[in-house]
Structure 1
Amino acid sequence: MQNRFLLGVSVGESFAEYSLLSDTKPVAQKRVYLARESLKQSLSQFVSEHAGQKPTQAFVSLRLPKKLLSYELSGAVAHITTEGFEHWLHLCAKSPEQTLTSKDLLFSVRERVLANGTVEIPLDTNDLEPVVAKLQMMGCKKVCLHFLHSATHPANLQVAKNYLQEKGLEVFTPENNDNPHEVSRWNKNALNATISSVFTDRKAEIIAALDGAVTKEEIYFLNSSGKLFQEDSSQHVSSLFSAGTALGHYFGAMKKADVLYLGLEGFLLISGAAWSSAWESPWGAVEVPHLKTIELGIQPTLGIALNTFGRFDFSKTQEGWEPGPMFLGRGQKPSLLDLWAENAKLTKLPGLEDRFSAQGIQRFKNSFFALSKISQTRDSDISHLTKEMQSLTLQRLAMEAYLNRQSAKLVVTGPLATVFANAFKKDSHTVIETEEFSESYATALCGHQALQESL
């Protein structure tokens, strides 16, 4: 019997992972650093290198950089709401500085649907004419429609959508579902519109990279609830937690445990059973059902600084991978992973093994030494200070995982699991899974299961 091959693709903010599976077993894997390698080229090359093991389906989890959720980086989007509610999303945001569009692109029209679905004020399309004229003058092509109670009765919403589409505008509307919380639905719709162009471009890259290997009809994208989609633009934001949900399904639910994922981009504690209906974003609640996920206080690119007592500690700022930790040679600020820059397990990690810079490592040591000179520590030996900070990292990591997990059992996995495994060696309820590229592997398995269930 001929083997069936599946392709799992997990695209993060700074790294992408690829796994080729024969049924449920990985036969080839790769990780690429997107700051140095093209997603399209690296994925196409990976598939070409294994042309004899042609996949029948591809399953993709796609996460965009959170900074792109800002309209200032992803492009302007207009919002048209029920009269009197044009500032609702702004008022409901966690911070007044966090906005989903420019104030010049907030509009309202006279229309009203009551909570029971009765159309109290029908929409007059003449009210939309001056709005369209202003959008055309400003060159804005995207419009979000946020009409009160439109999920109960979408008559006015549909009239507005048809009219705006006839004028050549791209229109986004909230999903029609049973969620009674208008703000979380509207926030999701607004964010979907904000990232639609970037998301569509990234999807097109993946599809182009797989051209000739997998048909477009057999490429599936995974959302945060573990379901599949292909062309649905309302799922863009829903994909943000897709890899985490796949990890929770594969490593957690099967083993009745929580999952501590020690990834290069983040340390996440994922429940294997508990679900969250919304994501508490900087803009407020966003309707994104996903396995409950906690972002730990300890993170791989957390900055190192002196606290108010003049002692070495971690800052609240993550330096990220662009430019990345100092050991890559481009970073200018010391971060947590720099403490392990000479650790053999880290230096051999696929995706990083050829990225280490001797000059960058030395620059980190110099920065660390300079901090020690202005600190209140009595010991300025770099080796001792490094070990102390490594010990502090492991203690905090183990404590956070212990206090926040909801299951008695814990599965620790991810590319950095081997590096930080010592934090959990005394915990009899913890299992270390050192399988590489677990995001792409879990995405393929979770996606294939979802496809089977949909047939």
Structure 2
Amino acid sequence: MQNSFMLGVSVGESFAEYILLDGINTVAAKRAYLSRENLKNSLQQFVSAHKEKGIAKAFVSLRISEKLMDYKLSGAVAHVTTEGFENWLELRGCSGAALTSSELHFSVRERILASGQILHALAQEEIEAIAAKLQLMEIKKVCLHFLHANINPAHEKQAQELFQAKGIEVFTPEKTENQDEVTRWRKNALNATISSLFQDLKKDLLEGMKDAVPESQVYFVGSAGEVFQDETNKRVGSLFASYSALGFQYQNSKMDVLHLGLEDFVLISPDSWSENWESPWGKVENKSLQMRQLSIQPTMGIKLNSFKHFDFHRNLEGWEPGPMSFGRGQKTTLMDLWTENAKVTKMAGLQDRMVAAGIQKFKTALLTMVKSSYDRNLEISTVIKELQSLGMQKVVMESLLHRQNKKIKVTGPLAELFANGFKKDPNASIDDQDFAEARAVVAVGLKAKV
């Protein structure tokens, strides 16, 4: 009888979920807090404890932090474009963030018309001159962005072969039906920028599973529901893969999905598609289910507004260093409000993470704000309860205003924490099973029948 055990792995910016399924039944599950646990080691420990089961396949979603997509952190990449189109990566809606250093922008005198006809042939000596400069600068990666190369790739292939002969890794835009060169080029640039980081994370994942799952049976899930092993043009899509996977489970149910995760609160519309990602660098070609980040997030800061009343700050503090109650954080966050809630203290991945000194530090910070607030006589316990209520109301109201379907499924590790807010909504239901992202990743993989 063929083995039915499937491994699901969903890696986020700060947490990773691992789940082992036998059909629809959960055999084992774990959530790793990546600031305290190594990805490779924690995964290795999980699969080693169950390798006798004989895992048939593993399906993975791998998210990379937007912060690490900065070329200054991920490594420099050169760009070679058709002459006259050097600034296209910065066009239309770019916030000013650069995808590479200006000294690594090069152009060549080549031109292919929209019909595919070659108007100006690519000169080999131009590519060789650029390659020589890159070698002197010790730049190992280059993106090719030639106009209309998706229609006639002759010049793109010529340049690619010349650069590769010099030992330089070449990245070219994925061939799709999208005719918008800017969004295609920008995706290629980001794929190249995070290639080394993605490869390092992929290596850790494969090494963590090698004793239980052959590499040939490890598959990655993309934002459009595709399953693949060569991720060359799929890295950007990894940012949204697990959330799209959550939505795909409810495409036939006529309901939206509100995922209340430890890292993000996101509303997913399974019946609608988005063709582009509105990134900090401008529009990027990326097909995924339509999703909306809520205005309130789990690591959102707490502040006094201009009227000296307690409110939430738009800045996200993140999980590195994390909430104050974890001991290293320096600013109060929404998550700190539930520090002493039994549902949080016993939650997989968070248990034993709160420290007494951190909890007291949070209360002291809150007390300091109370003394500066409009009502200086408030009790700390009252402030906490009111902020909990405010946070819950914001989540419920925003999900109600922006859902596209009448019904909504609330998932994620914090779903039960906010469940009371949805009690009066007859169209809302709570997914009481944890590890929703990892389960969804397996579901997408099985549907693909690889």
TM-score using structure 2 length: 0.98
Instruction: Give the letter for the 1:308 counterpart.
Output: S
1:311: how far off? 1.4
What is the aligned partner in structure 2 of residue 80 from structure 1?
A: 80
C-alpha distance in structure 2 between counterparts of 1:307 and 1:94, whole Å: 30
For the pair 1:137 / 2:129, whether they are aligned, the reply is no
What is the aligned partner in structure 2 of residue 216 from structure 1?
A: 215
State whether residues 90 and 282 of structure 2, in contact with CA within 8 Å, keep that contact through their aligned partners in structure 1. Answer: no
1:195: how far off? 0.3
What is the aligned partner in structure 2 of residue 311 from structure 1?
A: 309
Q: Counterpart of 2:53 in 1: which secondary structure? A: coil
State whether residues 379 and 385 of structure 1, in contact with CA within 8 Å, keep that contact through their aligned partners in structure 2. Answer: no
What is the aligned partner in structure 1 of residue 39 from structure 2?
A: 39
C-alpha distance in structure 2 between counterparts of 1:232 and 1:157, whole Å: 20
In the TM superposition, what are the counterparts of 1:24-423 in structure 2 within 5 Å? Answer: 24-96=24-96, 98-250=97-249, 252-423=250-421
The superposition leaves residues 153-205 of structure 1 with CA deviations (integer Å, 9 ceiling, x where unpaired) of 11111111111111110000001111011111011100000000000111111
C-alpha distance in structure 1 between counterparts of 2:54 and 2:449, whole Å: 19
Q: Counterpart of 1:9 in 2: which secondary structure? A: strand
State whether residues 19 and 30 of structure 1, in contact with CA within 8 Å, keep that contact through their aligned partners in structure 2. Answer: yes
Instruction: Give the letter for the 2:4 counterpart.
Output: R
C-alpha distance in structure 1 between counterparts of 2:196 and 2:267, whole Å: 30
Against the structure 1 CA distance between its residues 143 and 2, is the aligned structure 2 distance closer, same or farther, given a 3 Å change threshold?
closer
Q: Which runs of 5 or more structure 1 residues have no equivalent in the other structure?
A: none
1:232: how far off? 3.3
1:19: how far off? 0.6
C-alpha distance in structure 1 between counterparts of 2:253 and 2:300, whole Å: 31
State whether residues 80 and 142 of structure 2, in contact with CA within 8 Å, keep that contact through their aligned partners in structure 1. Answer: yes
What is the aligned partner in structure 2 of residue 447 from structure 1?
A: 445
State whether residues 24 and 445 of structure 1, in contact with CA within 8 Å, keep that contact through their aligned partners in structure 2. Answer: no
Q: Identity percentage over the alignment?
A: 53
The superposition leaves residues 212-271 of structure 1 with CA deviations (integer Å, 9 ceiling, x where unpaired) of 311111100001001111123111111111101110012x22422100000000000011
1:431: how far off? 0.4
Q: Counterpart of 2:447 in 1: which secondary structure? A: helix
Q: Counterpart of 1:377 in 2: which secondary structure? A: coil
C-alpha distance in structure 1 between counterparts of 2:375 and 2:79, whole Å: 54
What is the aligned partner in structure 1 of residue 432 from structure 2?
A: 434
Q: Counterpart of 2:233 in 1: which secondary structure? A: helix
C-alpha distance in structure 2 between counterparts of 1:92 and 1:135, whole Å: 29
1:93: how far off? 4.5
Instruction: Give the letter for the 1:392 counterpart.
Output: L
1:131: how far off? 1.4
Q: Counterpart of 1:165 in 2: which secondary structure? A: helix
Q: Counterpart of 1:355 in 2: which secondary structure? A: coil
Instruction: Give the letter for the 1:78 counterpart.
Output: A
C-alpha distance in structure 1 between counterparts of 2:384 and 2:78, whole Å: 50
State whether residues 5 and 56 of structure 2, in contact with CA within 8 Å, keep that contact through their aligned partners in structure 1. Answer: yes
The superposition leaves residues 286-327 of structure 1 with CA deviations (integer Å, 9 ceiling, x where unpaired) of 111001010000100001111122211111110000000011
State whether residues 265 and 293 of structure 2, in contact with CA within 8 Å, keep that contact through their aligned partners in structure 1. Answer: yes
Runs of 4+ in 1 over 2 A off after TM superposition: 91-94, 377-380
1:429: how far off? 0.1
1:378: how far off? 4.3
What is the aligned partner in structure 2 of residue 20 from structure 1?
A: 20
Instruction: Give the letter for the 1:211 counterpart.
Output: K
The superposition leaves residues 383-417 of structure 1 with CA deviations (integer Å, 9 ceiling, x where unpaired) of 11111111110111111000111000000010001
TM-score using structure 1 length: 0.97
How many pairs are equivalent? 450
C-alpha distance in structure 2 between counterparts of 1:153 and 1:103, whole Å: 28
State whether residues 93 and 99 of structure 1, in contact with CA within 8 Å, keep that contact through their aligned partners in structure 2. Answer: no
C-alpha distance in structure 2 between counterparts of 1:311 and 1:94, whole Å: 35
Instruction: Give the letter for the 1:40 counterpart.
Output: K
C-alpha distance in structure 2 between counterparts of 1:48 and 1:68, whole Å: 30
Please tell me the root mean square deviation across aligned C-alpha atoms, in Å.
Answer: 1.1
Q: Which runs of 5 or more structure 2 residues have no equivalent in the other structure?
A: none
1:134: how far off? 1.7
Instruction: Give the letter for the 1:203 counterpart.
Output: K
Moved more, 229-238 or 321-330: 229-238
Q: Counterpart of 2:330 in 1: which secondary structure? A: coil
What is the aligned partner in structure 1 of residue 10 from structure 2?
A: 10
Instruction: Give the letter for the 2:63 counterpart.
Output: R
1:420: how far off? 1.1
State whether residues 26 and 441 of structure 1, in contact with CA within 8 Å, keep that contact through their aligned partners in structure 2. Answer: no
Instruction: Give the letter for the 1:46 counterpart.
Output: F
State whether residues 260 and 401 of structure 1, in contact with CA within 8 Å, keep that contact through their aligned partners in structure 2. Answer: yes
